[in-house]
Structures are given as C-alpha cells and as structure tokens.
Amino acid sequence: MSVLPVLKWPDPRLAQVCAPVGDVTDLRDVVADMFETMYAAPGRGLAGPQVGVMARVFVMDAGWKEGAKTPLACINPEILVRSEEMADGPEGCLSVPGVTAEVARHRAITLAYTDLDGVRHEARMTGAAAIIAQHEYDHLDGVMHFDRLGAAERAAVLAEYEALA
C-alpha cells in the first residue's frame, strides 16, 4: 500500500464524470491505497478522481477521528433516496486544502453500492456519513463542493483558495 498524490483544484480531472467500474476485483490495490491516502491526509472521504482514478469508486470513514476505524469502500454507488430535510454545514475537501464552505446537503440518504467482493448493498446514512457520501458521490460526477454554492459564495471560496496557493 502507498499514499497517493491528491489532485488539487483546478486539475481538469476533478471536473470529469467517472466511468462505471466493471470488475471490482481490479480495484483492490487501488482501494487499499485510497484508504491509506485518506487516513494520512487526514480526511474522512476520498473519491477516485481525487487520485487520478477516473472510475466510480470512493472510500469513506465517518467516525474514525472520534473512535475506531470503520472503512467503507463504495463502488458504482447510487443515491436511491434523499430526504427532503436539508442541513447546512462546513465542508472541506482534500483537493481544495485549507478552505471550507457552508454547503446544504440532504440530512439522510439511502446509498446503494458494490463492495470489493462484488456484493451489492443498500445503506441508510444520516449525519456525517450522509454528508461525506454525498460529497464523494459528487466527485464522481465532476462536481466540487463549491459548485453547490451561489455565485458570490463560490467566488469567495475560490478567492480564498487562490490566496492560499
């Protein structure tokens, strides 16, 4: 396993839609590297395109910073259900280091995904897990967290990021 370099905005790969994964077993080593990269960052989620893997895969661990690690690899994920209730909260991104933005996300989702054994799952997620999954899922569609902001807020976040660079 190894820590992978994380692409930084405005790398054009971060704005691309990722391809579905065919054989999930081909991803075992990549997913292991993605977990190592996420934990080393230290982050709570990491999507394939953030490390140059243009496939529909992300890894996450919502609670490891407060307790035991509970790694989750999601291959070909789909958000099946989104709650009507929204929550605004600060979001950071490993591809936009040093900057957070207040983003509105659904409070709860039902996520379908395939694991590394090729088994399909459905999970109802709330709280941090729901926010992280939505953030990483967006990456698979080439959407950055600041793309969910109004024009003025988006410009302010990007200006703050550029000032740090």
Residue 91 lies in a domain: yes
- What letter does residue 117 receive in the DSSP assignment? T
Domain of 124 in residue numbering reads as 12-164
CATH number of the domain enclosing 104: 3.90.45.10
Q: What is the mean pLDDT of residues 16-37?
A: 96
pLDDT-derived band at 66, boundaries 50, 70, 90: confident
Question: Catalytic residue at 85?
Answer: no
Residue 3 lies in a domain: no
Per-residue pLDDT reduced to its tens digit, 75-128 = 999 999 999 999 999 999 999 999 999 999 999 999 999 999 999 999 999 999
Residue 21 lies in a domain: yes
**Is residue 54 scored above 90 in pLDDT?**
yes
Residue 38 lies in a domain: yes
pLDDT-derived band at 65, boundaries 50, 70, 90: confident
92 touches 100 (CB < 8 A): yes
- CA torsion 66-33-12-156 (nearest 10°) is 10
Domain count, the chain: 1
- Which of the following is catalytic: 85, 136, 153, 160? 136
The stretches of the chain forming alpha helices (DSSP H) are 28-40, 127-140, 151-164
What's the CA gap between 53 and 161, in Å, rounded? 24
Residue 150 lies in a domain: yes
- What was the pLDDT predicted at 87? 94
- What was the pLDDT predicted at 133? 98
Residue 5 lies in a domain: no
SS3 for 139? helix
121 touches 24 (CB < 8 A): no
**Is residue 52 scored above 90 in pLDDT?**
yes
Residue 28 lies in a domain: yes
- What was the pLDDT predicted at 95? 98
Per-residue pLDDT reduced to its tens digit, 118-158 = 999 999 999 999 999 999 999 999 999 999 999 999 999 99
- What was the pLDDT predicted at 25? 87
